[in-house]
Structure 1
Amino acid sequence: MDISASPAFGSPANWTKSEVQAYALSVRKKIGYHTGSSVKGVIRYLGGDVHYARDSCRFSLIVEAREDFMVNLFAGKSVEQDNFSLATHIGRYTMHYAGEPMRVLKDHVPSELSRQTMNEAVWFAEEFMMPSDELQSAWRDLRGNVGMVAKHFGVSHLIADLRTSTLGPVAVG
């Protein structure tokens, strides 16, 4: 049985990227998240916990019930890498949890269903961590310095580089 196709994996919302981004901004506003705030604190605010492991965990997200979930992260990553991972799990939890226990496998071959779920979680995390309007302003203010943009938003250089590449032409002032 393909666990990614089961309800335990979490069903996609089947929203467009712009719908997911609007949702991420609404969650950000509702919980009062501001750039530079603790993403781990958001997990705790939502009733979850973060577990760090030195060895591999089978599941990256385990949801038992509303306000009872755990995110498993590898202990060897940077805070900036963890922040984006945590934001994807905030998206998975808030968009895909439907009241039944849910387990998200690490490192599996995605089906079409799970690919949409993953895309939604990434779109959520991008907008939650680096809202488009704020990102464009930071990009201009920091003169297109990806490293400084990454530091401003508390994400890795790679994530900031990928996200800024989707901005299109933005004047650096």
Structure 2
Amino acid sequence: MARTVETIAISQEFTISRRELMLGKFDSIKGPFSMHYSAPYECGLSKAAVDSFASQVATHFGYRPGTSLTPIVEKMGGTIHIQNVLDFNRIPSGSIRVEGPARFEIFLAAHTGPARDRFTIAHELGHYVLHYLYARQNGAQIERLEAQRYGSGRVEWEANWFAAGFLMPTEQFAERYRALKGVIPLLADEFGVSVDAARIRAEFVGVR
């Protein structure tokens, strides 16, 4: 019962966010931006709640598993940058900088593969949705945010949970798992993720 209440509460809160995202009605930010970027703080939601939340976001923005994430990022107001390994002044790859609602940049390494990049993009969207939009709706005084993919603390776990739920929604993943007779490499290819990510997802969903 607690899980249901939590999930409903998240859905109601996100209804406000997605309306703002689509209509461009955001909280005004008074005064000029400072050059300071806040670090993300954990949102405190359960893994199941984050998973459900991520699936709702994916559905709302019309994401179909296995398809390009670039249009989704653009719909949400973001851009994706590929980092040149020879640019020593570059922002660390696998990171996100949020300048404001519907204004963010995701930075990827030039030498990583498609499956890794897709999970990184979804992970960074997790930071944007959970640790910026959701945090602001719950009273956090955040103007700008920067998240770099280092460490393995709770903040990174939450972004990983979001990425898995976004890229591999539970119902669709379970359905395709059964259709593909549980062959993990085929699932990974269909959902555009690594074999390890698909295997971990199968365990979480409870089909393996």
Quickly name the TM-score band, shorter chain normalised: 0.7 to 0.9
Q: Is the 8 A contact 1:57 1:106 kept in 2?
A: no
Identity %: 28
Paired residues for 1:44-55 under 5 Å: 44-55=74-85
Of the three residues 69, 92, 95, the one matched with 2:130 is 95
Unaligned runs of 5+ in 1: 1-5
Of the three residues 104, 120, 127, the one matched with 2:147 is 104
Paired residues for 1:162-173 under 5 Å: 162-170=200-208
How many residues in Structure 1 have an aligned counterpart in Structure 2? 160
Q: Secondary structure at the match of 1:33?
A: coil
Give the match for residue 28 of structure 1.
58
Q: Distance in 1 between matches of 2:200 and 2:206?
A: 12
Q: Secondary structure at the match of 1:155?
A: coil
Matched, 1:117 2:155: yes
Give the match for residue 80 of structure 1.
115
Tell me how far 1:131 sits from its aligned partner.
Answer: 1.0
Unaligned runs of 5+ in 2: 1-35, 137-141
TM-score if structure 2 supplies the norm length?
0.70
Q: Distance in 1 between matches of 2:197 and 2:160?
A: 11
Change (3 A) 1:7 1:72: closer
Give the match for residue 8 of structure 2.
none
Say which structure, 1 or 2, has more relative contact order (CA 8 Å, 6+ apart). Answer: 1
Tell me how far 1:169 sits from its aligned partner.
Answer: 4.7
Tell me how far 1:24 sits from its aligned partner.
Answer: 0.9
Paired residues for 1:60-71 under 5 Å: 60-71=95-106
Q: Secondary structure at the match of 2:107?
A: strand
